[in-house]
Structure 1
Amino acid sequence: MPVPDWLRTAFAVVVYWTAIAVGGSVLLADPTSPLAAVPVLGGGAVAAHAARTDRLVELGYAVGTMWLAVLALSVGAGVVDFAAAPDGEIAPLADLPGVAAAGTVGLFAVLVGAYAAFARRSARRDASERD
């Protein structure tokens, strides 16, 4: 039984939106913080734009790029905390409000920048194929 296109699109949007919301708010110590609106609402807007413009593949690459940034940030913070605290105590960076805010907005900026870059690259490729 074939799955309708609208259902596949809706499922992809929900999966990407969830990945954006979780990844973008990973630095927030309090999940009910008003700052959680940045990845949740912003991720919804980006996912809706990708669905309307048929750029879900590009959004998937952008979400992967954002998660690579989450990984790099986590590893980098762990290395810095380990080097700064040689006795082995790792202080949670998410408890610092400035770091959490900058990290949350920065991760969303990585997502939007990567989405724009992948969409631009795809549009150039589509234009060169038509010529």
Structure 2
Amino acid sequence: MSVPDPLRTVVAVAVYWTAIALGGSVLLPDPTSPLVALPVIGGGAVVAHAARTDRLVPLGYAVGTMWLAVLALTVGTGVVDVVGTPDGEIAPLADYPVPAALGTVGLFGVLLVAYAAFVRRSAERDASESE
């Protein structure tokens, strides 16, 4: 049994938008912060663009890249916590407003740059296949 393409697109859009909203706002200490609009609304715009231009596969790679950046921030913060402070008692990164804001903007920037790179790579591959 195959799934119709419109249903696949709707599911992919919902999954990618949720992944962007959650990953982009992971550093925010307050989920009601106005800065949460960046990953939610910005992520919605990126997902809408990808769905409209049939670029959901490059978007999937970009979302994965953003989540790798989330993992790198998490591991990096843990290493600083263990190695950088002898007592191992630094507050979570989200407790500081400036790093949390910069991290949120940075994660969204990672998403945009990765999406643009994967779209360009896909377009170049499509152009070389049509020659």
User: 2:37 corresponds to which residue?
Assistant: 37
The separation in 2 between residues aligned to 1:38 and 1:81, in whole angstroms, is 28
The gaps in structure 2 that reach 5 residues or longer are none
User: 2:105 corresponds to which residue?
Assistant: 105
The gaps in structure 1 that reach 5 residues or longer are none
Per the normalisation by structure 1, the TM-score is 0.96
Per the normalisation by structure 2, the TM-score is 0.96
* Percent of aligned pairs sharing the same letter: 78
User: 1:124 corresponds to which residue?
Assistant: 124
Moved more, 62-71 or 80-89: 80-89
Residue correspondence of structure 1 range 24-103 to structure 2 within 5 A: 24-103=24-103
Deviations 1:45-94 (A, max 9, x none): 00010001111000000000000000001111111122332112231110
Match of 2:15, SS? helix
What is the RMSD of the two structures over their aligned residues, measured on CA atoms?
0.9
The separation in 2 between residues aligned to 1:91 and 1:2, in whole angstroms, is 49
